[in-house]
């Protein structure tokens, strides 16, 4: 209830449309469409441009995924819509081509391996960093460390990989030092076997600090008295960490875990496409780069759309399942019919 809805008499002395619009729902139910339109048109005008862009660049392509069931040929019509109307429907033909392509399954396996690897070796690190930063008593030291570790989040993938190449690559600083001391330099950046470790290290370098922000906020929300009572009851620092800190972080951890699981088929795009040439397809091809190299480059639109649709549908199912799972475990989940 807002102030206006409490103070205005129910019938109102002013005609409804001229009355100051209440800031919440209450009285709108009783108004007709034209009255509401007359009152609310500025909101609609404000929202419209952004909504149009989202429809054009998000929903139209989403619907455009139906070309996955076509032998789409851009030369059949004089516009994209014309080609779409003229292209023949071929049912699941594109999916047959896709599922029989071993390179597609390689890409699926690579993607899932990287997701799994990063869940184990990347996901927990921001939690540790947040706990570490939170335990630093000096505000100045903490502020400085935070400023430094947040920074790489704002670098592009081109930059992050550039820094890695200049430090660890074949012509980088590490190779120089090894060579000067008579050792054979090790190929880190172009070794397919090391690729999964390298991309994870790049991700950690870029986003470790940024990922800790959410956990730091959750730590700040933990009631300090819980720590004190635990200490009075004889819990040492490790038991307080286990019985107070980690339960306090649990909802955030579960939330981010769901989001990550729902995104299991996306490991990022630019990071992989930038390194695919140096490392080779066998290790560096993920689903997104597969779509680019198998569809956009050779202009095999139907098969590419089929791969994209496969990824989108599986991703949607994953996030719905993960969210339901979280609800069942008694956690809040990502969304809940608001």
Partner 1 sequence: MSTHNAWEERPTLVGRLGKGGTLVLLVLVVLFPMWSVVVTSLASRKTIDAAGGMVVIPREFDPSAYLSIFSGGTVTQALWVSTVVTIGGTAVSLVLTTFAAYGLSRPGTLWHRPLLFVFLLTFLIAPGLVPTYLVVTGLGLKDSLWSLILPSAVSAFNLVVMRAFFMGVPTELVDAARIDGASEWGILFRIVLPLSKAVVAVVGLFYAVGYWNAYFNSVLYLDSSDKWPIQRILQGYILGGQSPAVTGNVPINLPGVTAYPPSLAVKMAVVVVTVVPALVIYPFVQRHFTKGVMLGAVKG
Window 153-192: residues binding partner 1 (CB under 8 A): 154-159, 161-163, 165-167, 171-173, 175-176, 179-180
The answer to whether the beta carbons of residues 22 and 2 sit under 8 Å apart is yes
CA distance 210 to 216: 10
For partner 1, which stretch binds (CB under 8 A), given 100-108, 111-119, 146-154, 241-249? 146-154
Nearest to 97 by CA among 289, 304, 312, 298: 304
Q: Which is nearer to partner 1, 192 or 312 (CB)?
A: 312
CB within 8 A of 46, min separation 6: which ones? none
Using CB under 8 A as the binding rule, the residues of this chain from 109 to 138 that contact partner 1 are 129, 132, 135-137
Core vs surface per residue 235-248: b (16+ CB within 10 A) or e:
beeeebeeebbeeb
Q: What track of x and - describes contact with partner 1 for positions 69 through 98 (by CB under 8 A)? A: -----x----xxx-----------------
Nearest to 313 by CA among 117, 66, 2, 23: 66
Using CB under 8 A as the binding rule, the residues of this chain from 201 to 260 that contact partner 1 are 205, 208-209, 213-214, 216-217, 224, 227-228, 231-232, 236-237, 252, 255
Q: Which is nearer to partner 1, 43 or 105 (CB)?
A: 43
Using CB under 8 A as the binding rule, the residues of this chain from 309 to 338 that contact partner 1 are 309, 311-312, 315-316, 319, 335
148 scored as a contact of partner 1 (CB under 8 A): yes
CA distance 111 to 102: 14
Using CB under 8 A as the binding rule, the residues of this chain from 251 to 270 that contact partner 1 are 252, 255, 266, 269-270
């Amino acid at each position: 209830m807002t102030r206006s809805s409490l103070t205005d008499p129910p019938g109102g002395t002013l005609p409804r449309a001229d009355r100051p619009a209440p800031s919440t729902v209450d009285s709108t139910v009783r108004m007709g469409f034209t009255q509401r339109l007359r009152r609310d048109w500025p909101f609609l005008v404000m929202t419209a441009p952004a909504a149009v862009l989202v429809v054009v660049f998000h929903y139209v392509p989403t619907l455009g995924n139906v070309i996955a069931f076509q032998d789409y040929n851009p030369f059949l019509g004089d516009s994209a819509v014309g080609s779409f109307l003229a292209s023949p429907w071929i049912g699941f033909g594109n999916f047959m081509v896709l599922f029989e392509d071993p390179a597609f399954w390689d890409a699926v396996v690579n993607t899932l391996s990287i997701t799994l690897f990063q869940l184990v070796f990347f996901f927990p690190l921001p939690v540790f960093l947040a706990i570490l930063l939170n335990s630093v008593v000096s505000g100045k030291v903490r502020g400085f460390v935070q400023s430094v570790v947040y920074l790489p989040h704002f670098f592009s993938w081109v930059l992050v990989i550039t820094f890695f190449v200049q430090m660890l690559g074949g012509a980088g600083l590490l190779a120089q030092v090894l060579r000067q001391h008579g050792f054979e330099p090790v190929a880190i950046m172009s070794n397919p076997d090391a690729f999964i470790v390298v991309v994870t290290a790049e991700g950690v370098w870029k986003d470790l600090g940024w990922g800790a922000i959410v956990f730091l906020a959750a730590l700040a929300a933990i009631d300090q008295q819980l720590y004190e009572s635990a200490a009075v009851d004889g819990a040492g620092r490790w038991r307080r960490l286990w019985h107070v800190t980690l339960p306090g972080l649990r909802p955030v951890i579960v939330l981010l875990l769901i989001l990550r699981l729902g995104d299991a088929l996306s490991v990022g795009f630019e990071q992989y496409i930038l390194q695919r040439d140096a490392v080779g397809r066998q290790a560096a091809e993920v689903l997104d780069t597969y779509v680019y190299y198998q569809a956009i480059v050779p202009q095999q639109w139907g098969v590419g759309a089929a791969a994209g649709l496969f990824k989108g549908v599986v991703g949607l199912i994953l996030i719905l399942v993960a969210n339901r799972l979280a609800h069942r475990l008694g956690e809040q989940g990502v969304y809940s019919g608001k």
